[in-house]
Amino acid sequence: MLISVIGAGYVGLVTGACLAHLGNEVRVVDIDRARIERLRGGEVPIHEPGLDELVAAGLANGRLSFHADQSGTYGSQLVIVAVGTLDRAGEWYGELVERAVRGLAEDSRAPRHLVVRSTLMPGTAVRLEALAQAIDPDVRLCFNPEFTREAVAVRDFLEPDRVVVGAGRDAQALVQELHELYAPMGRTILDTDLTSAETIKLASNVFLATKISFANELARLCAATGADVHAVVDGMGLDLRIGRSFLSPGPGFGGSCFPSQVRALPELARSFGIEAPIIAAVDQSNLGQADWLIDGLERARGASLAGSRVALLGLTFKANTDDLRESPALRLAERLVARGARVVAYDPKATEAGVVQLAAGGVTVDAAPSAAEAVIDADAVVVGTEWAEFGALDWAALAPRMRGRIIADARRIIDRDAALAAGLTVVAMGVTHTPDGGGAAARIAVPVTAAAAV
């Protein structure tokens, strides 16, 4: 099938490269000419495992091409709109999607079958359909949300849990084309209306964000009572009704999707006069996790961080990506600096970019070329991102280079036994592990009643 994709960002590039891999001829269109030239040369501007190889293969076999003008869509059977939906403040807005849909509808040489893959607020697709059909009644529109996660986006696209197709009016022919397009995956395809498809996408992300925040709040409770939060979530996850996925405590969630959507969904509910207190609380809970983690570091240290030197390992919002958007590691950096610490940061993919982004927000952080350099003379080490290389650090060699003795592992990635053997104290999810074998959480007195004892 000959298709076009509007947008060469995360969603558009993964969509285009994967569909070319499945045997289609794909033309990716973007107004950023510099980006298009880089892609034509095989240079992928984002770090996403497996994507470089797919782009290279698509260019080599001629099934993938890049274009800087809408004329690149001419002759395509359908066009997928995958442009960004975040403004400079990181909040959802649909102006770029609307602009793309309008431009395609106004261009009679462009495909009349439009598929929106950019994330939309419920009700937006119906409005876009009406806008397009007011320009040209022959336009048909579907909403086909993506469920890919950064760092595993290629695998998620090619092996999806499900494919959702939200159909507009009289769009049966377009729906059939999408079924044919996704048939090689052999996965369940759910056909629904436009607004339900939008809501499936948004509700899925917000629910997963809620699971993360629940696990983080549970970690705070476990640290206070003496329970091991990781044993607790493992035990909960064995219940098939709950599941273990995303029930993992850490520094909080980040990235381009979850933060904006957990803010947008309760706002949408309020616009209809509906209160959503559970969803509305997720954002504040997430933002509070960084302070709780740093509170634990100061308690373990027995002193404030004012005047200290802290090595921050990791800046991206998750491992195996170079994405810094709303990264919880950056929040840790901001809070550490606010408490008077001098922060020296290292990230395998985004050290300089992270330092520049923090500086743009008025937060000064020093850059280190490696984890080993970052920990020199550090009073404490904070692990903010779960990069695999942090799990393989040689603490026997690093500990003598540190001034202090504490590691705050917000990701549970480091080799705790090796760190303890090197004479270091490890703080993980509120539990302080010491070289002498101490590993109990800070406890509070819990009254034992007859009911509680039963």
Helix (H, G, I), strand (E, B) or coil at 40: helix
The DSSP secondary-structure symbol of 86 reads: B
Residue 67, phi then psi, degrees to nearest 5: -135, 145
Catalytic residue, candidates 18, 142, 222, 257: 257
Residue 257 is a catalytic residue: yes
DSSP string spanning 355-398? HHHHHHTT---EE-SSHHHHTTT-SEEEE-S--HHHHT--HHHH
**Type and span of the H or E element at 11:** helix 10-21
Cα gap 146→255, rounded to integer Å: 15
Helix (H, G, I), strand (E, B) or coil at 221: helix
Cα gap 361→158, rounded to integer Å: 38
Whether 437 contacts 413, CB under 8 Å:
no
Q: Tell me how crowded residue 99 is: count the other CB atoms within 10 A of its CB.
A: 12
Cα 151 to chain centroid, rounded = 9
245 closest CA partner among 329, 155, 161: 161
Residue that the structure tokens 């969803």 belong to: 279
Residue that the structure tokens 């600096």 belong to: 337
Length of the chain as a residue count: 454
Cα gap 438→126, rounded to integer Å: 59
Locate 437 and state its tokens. 């074998």
Question: Measured between alpha carbons, how far apart are the two ends of the chain, in Å?
Answer: 65
25-29 and 189-193 strand pairing: unpaired
- The residues annotated as belonging to the active site are 257
